[in-house]
Amino acid sequence: MVALAAACDSGGTDHAEPAAEPGRAKIVAALHDLISVDRLPGAQVVRTEHGKAWTATAGVGDLERGTPFQDNARVRIASNTKTFVATVMLQLAAEGKVELDAPVERYLPGVVHGPGIDGNRITIRNLLQHTSGIPEYAAEFGTTPKPGQIDTHDERIRWGRTDIAEVVRNALTAPADFEPGARWTYSNTNYALAGMVLEKITGFSIGAEITHRIIDRLGLPDTYYPDADEVDIRGPHPRGYARIDGKLVDYTEQNVTSAGAAGAMVSSGADLNRFLNALLGGELLPPAQLEEMKRTVPLGIEGQSASYGLGLLANPLSCGTVGWGHGGDIDGFETRGGATDDGRAVTVSVNQVPESGETTGHLNAIVDLALCAGS
């Protein structure tokens, strides 16, 4: 272990041999900038290449104790959950149990309907690709909920179990955002519905299916789908912080049933890297289904070059290749990462959701730097 505290005021550790990784010094310096410039409490980067990983941390994982992120720190990975859910759906497609271009109505009769919303015209592909036009069920951080949306800062939602089926019903009382397939707009409701489809088809919970089909299969020791009444994070983890009404609040403990199939999971950087490398390497899906997952549509957002497949973002990298992954935000944590087709993967985790898009851009820049190092 090489201590870096003397090189940067925020402190930190780097678990790698000094000259073992190309670009390591720049990556670690950028990680420390998240603390000194962007004023985040703590950060961790895990880079994996062909099964060999190294980890570096900056800042603190616990403001009260002043301790850093632990090795194999577990964090709430939020919307990275969507890639796991999409992978299970594509496994079921490979098994002939679901058709991607079949209407949702076939699997959830009578559920998907509302003003301008018709489950006979919305497909499973639309759900996984965010091209359904179905409105969002969760209010964005710091905004007033719209009709049909929930406030994730409501103390009842933070500590109590959420009936996601009821949440979906309420969301579907709002009008459709657009005609199915007309464009791309991110909506967590799509994945709440995808989770309901998976449970209807398999007869098991989405957590059980992800555990059996992915976590146990790959041997991911730090990854799990929380139980319905769980509020703690199991195992080693940093504290997670959220700024609410101008105050920094410890938001580590929370019930994530409101996130559900759209964002409930916990994992570590090493496990996320292993998952993405296994996915892209064909360990989880046959070639035809992996190709479907990687068929993308443009986001249609000015300044954004990324495109979206089935639970998988394609991010063009500065070195000319593509980083495949997702990313996620939930009160207390943000993760950004990706993997390349040639066996490199990186996850950057911070223990506070950035308060500006600029800071999230800095996380994405670290991902780009790490994936392109040595290429």
* 293-347 pLDDT tens trace: 999 999 988 888 899 999 999 999 999 999 999 999 999 999 999 999 999 999 9
Q: Which residues pair with 12 in a beta bridge?
A: 58
Token pair of 5, please?
């505290």
Domain membership of residue 336 as a residue range: 73-353+371-375
What residue type is 203 in one-letter code?
A: G
DSSP state of 328: E
Q: Give the separation between CA 51 and CA 342, rounded to whole angstroms.
A: 12
Query: How many separate domains does the chain show?
Result: 1
Do 353 and 334 meet the contact criterion of CB atoms below 8 Å apart? yes
In angstroms, the Cα distances linking 294 to 95, 133, 312, 314 are 19, 21, 7, 8
pLDDT at 234 over 60: yes
Do 82 and 208 meet the contact criterion of CB atoms below 8 Å apart? no
Residue 267 belongs to domain with CATH number = 3.40.710.10
* 14-39 pLDDT tens trace: 554 444 566 899 999 999 999 999 99
pLDDT band at 276 (very low <50, low <70, confident <90, very high): very high
Asked if residue 52 is part of any domain, the answer here is no
- Any catalytic annotation for residue 205? no
Asked if residue 361 is part of any domain, the answer here is no
Asked if residue 176 is part of any domain, the answer here is yes
In angstroms, the Cα distances linking 62 to 47, 243, 314, 362 are 23, 15, 33, 22
Asked if residue 46 is part of any domain, the answer here is no
Asked if residue 64 is part of any domain, the answer here is no
Q: Give the separation between CA 152 and CA 243, rounded to whole angstroms.
A: 13
Asked if residue 210 is part of any domain, the answer here is yes
pLDDT at 218 over 50: yes
Q: Give the separation between CA 89 and CA 102, rounded to whole angstroms.
A: 13
Closest CA to 134 of 181, 81, 82: 181
Asked if residue 360 is part of any domain, the answer here is no
pLDDT at 106 over 80: yes
Q: Tell me how far apart the terminal alpha carbons of the chain are, to the nearest angstrom.
A: 25
* 152-200 pLDDT tens trace: 889 999 999 999 999 999 999 999 999 999 999 999 999 999 999 999 9
Do 315 and 285 meet the contact criterion of CB atoms below 8 Å apart? no
The active-site residue, picked from 79, 187, 267, 307, is 79
Token pair of 148, please?
């049909």
**What pLDDT was estimated at residue 199?**
98
* 130-165 pLDDT tens trace: 999 999 999 876 678 888 899 888 999 999 999 999
Asked if residue 180 is part of any domain, the answer here is yes
What lies within 8 Å, CB to CB, of 159 at 6+ separation is 231, 254, 255
* 349-373 pLDDT tens trace: 999 999 888 999 999 999 999 999 8
Q: What is the mean pLDDT of the chain?
A: 92
Q: Which residues pair with 54 in a beta bridge?
A: 47
Q: Give the separation between CA 46 and CA 347, rounded to whole angstroms.
A: 5
